[in-house]
Amino acid sequence: MASYHLIDLLAVLSLKDTHMEKKAPVSSNSLSHGTLPLMEKISSLEKKNGGTRKNTPTVAEQRNYNVLNVNTAKQVALLWLQAAELENAIDFGLPEVDDRYHVWRVPLLNRTTQDRIGEVVIDAYTSLILEDRTTAPKLLEARLLGRNDKEATKPKDTRNGRYRLSTLRNTVALGDSEEILSELPAESVDLVFTSPPYFNARPEYTDYVAYEEYLLKLRKIIQNVHHVLAEGRFFVINISPVLIRRSSRYESSKRIAVPFDIHHLFTEEGFDFIDDIIWVKPEGAGWATGRGRRFAADRTPLQYKPVPVTEYILVYRKHTSKLIDWNIHAHPKQDLVEASRIGDDYERTNVWYIKPAHTKEHPAVFPTELAEKVISYYSFKEDVILDPFAGIGTVGEAAVKLGRRFVLIEQDEKYVSIIRERAKNWLGSNVKSVFTINCPPIQFQDRLLYHETS
């Protein structure tokens, strides 16, 4: 029985003029034209329900969902049942919105016995059916007929108990990470390591009017990363408090505890906290902030401010019921798992002493050594490593060095140009196979011509 999705429903259920915040996996089969009249009824029903409700906003409205209420969730699920030709045998229970994972869950009941036999899971933002979380039609048929089919009644495993190895090539993308990530295949990335831009801590980082706007942007990217990250794999983020300098001598500077706000975003968007690693820099590295200089001069109490020489490396795992051992033992290429083993010189504590990196090409790069440690500890060889804030491509350089693939997303055209040039050093003639998005293919001949004329 063919699976399908409700992509055409997007146009019908766009009940607000706000921009859609999240996209869900898109299947290759679209709705038939015969469902369009029913979809129009859904839109009409949604508007009617929205106009008669009380002024208190629901959770769905607060989250800016496109599927706003129980009736609409049922209508979306009905379309799915009709395509599966099961609408005459199944009733609906009471749909519930799960705003932690941004989905609606519609219980499916045997019409004769009223026993629960499964559920339809709907992406609340897009109205698409999440088929990897929805009870398969064949399993519903078996339960309706009372078959004792062990294979049919086996609990749904999104990856059939084994890894679905990613087919992504090395990729360089120019554009907004929120948008680029929504176009990548589901569960196509094995590790995310990134360091997001500082919030207005330097003149080059003043893109956000308010701190809340900055956090909202990070939330959207975390949501989209959740979609592309493989089951049970890690999202590692380098983050630190930022110092907002005072605008005049009559005002105080302000230090914002960004890591603690970021933590809440991750736990609310379907990630489990695993570890906090402290990156310690040499003592002189923190004096550039100017923090602590006044106290060093006169030693007056209350003015003490320590020089910041640490940053956080926070480690999160995409929520799953499976243990980490499953990610290891279910890998279909155990030779790669064995080849990825760590040597004796690994970091034994969560305090890492690493010198910072500096370059004229970018104001805030992290050292290659840091990227290499994270990639070595949290991925296997040939895995796909994503950096949604790629800068000049340090993560890509470390990934290639360690036998991994990379996906680098950067919105600054100048930095993408640098990545494209550096990739020629990392990959040599193989750079021609790099997939590019919103930028020209990388031509290795350019490097050859440069050497011939120099």
The token pair that represents 332 in the structure block: 């279909």
Question: pLDDT at residue 49 above 70?
Answer: no
Place 153 in a pLDDT band, splitting at 50, 70 and 90.
very low
Say if residue 4's pLDDT is above 50. no
Stretch 15-27: mean pLDDT, rounded? Answer: 38
Q: Which domains, ranges and CATH numbers included, belong to the chain? A: 9-145 (no CATH), 171-453 (3.40.50.150)
Mean pLDDT lowest among 29-43, 79-93, 291-305: 29-43
Give the pLDDT score at 66: 81
Mean of per-residue pLDDT scores for the chain = 81
For the whole model, what pTM was predicted? 0.63
pLDDT band of residue 298 (cuts 50, 70, 90) is: confident
Q: What is the pLDDT, as a whole number, of residue 289?
A: 55
Q: Is the pLDDT of residue 417 over 50?
A: yes
Average pLDDT over residues 28-37: 39
Name the β-bridge partners of 110: 90
Average confidence (pLDDT) over 186-190: 93
pLDDT at 131: 80
Q: What is the DSSP string of 135-171?
A: PPHHHHHHHHHT---TTTTSPP-TTTTS-----PPPE
Which of the four pLDDT bands, split at 50, 70 and 90, describes residue 313? Answer: very high
- Asked if residue 379 lies in contact with residue 165, where contact means CB atoms within 8 angstroms, the answer is no
126 and 24 in contact (C-beta within 8 Å)? yes
Of 424, 415, 422, 419, nearest to 448 by C-alpha is 424
Residue with tokens 């094995």: 190
Residue-wise pLDDT tens digits, 89-132: 999 999 999 887 888 999 999 999 998 888 999 988 878 888 87
Confidence of residue 183 (pLDDT cuts 50, 70, 90): confident
What is the structure's pLDDT at 275?
97
Using one digit for the tens of pLDDT, what is the confidence trace for 56-73? 888 888 888 888 999 999
Q: How does DSSP classify residue 349? A: S
- Would strands 271-280 and 405-410 be described as parallel, antiparallel, or unpaired? unpaired
| Whole-number pLDDT of residue 61 | 86
Contact 391, 362 (CB under 8 A): yes
In angstroms, the CA 395 to CA 408 distance is 8
Q: What is the DSSP string of 307-322?
A: PP-EEEEEEEEE--SS
Average pLDDT over residues 274-300: 77
Instruction: Please give the pLDDT value at position 314.
Output: 98
Q: Summarize pLDDT for 207-255 with one digit per residue, the tens.
A: 666 888 899 999 999 999 999 999 999 999 999 998 776 666 767 778 8
The yes-or-no verdict on residue 3 having pLDDT over 50 is no
Predicted pLDDT of residue 145:
87
- CA 269, CA 220: separation in Å to the nearest integer? 9
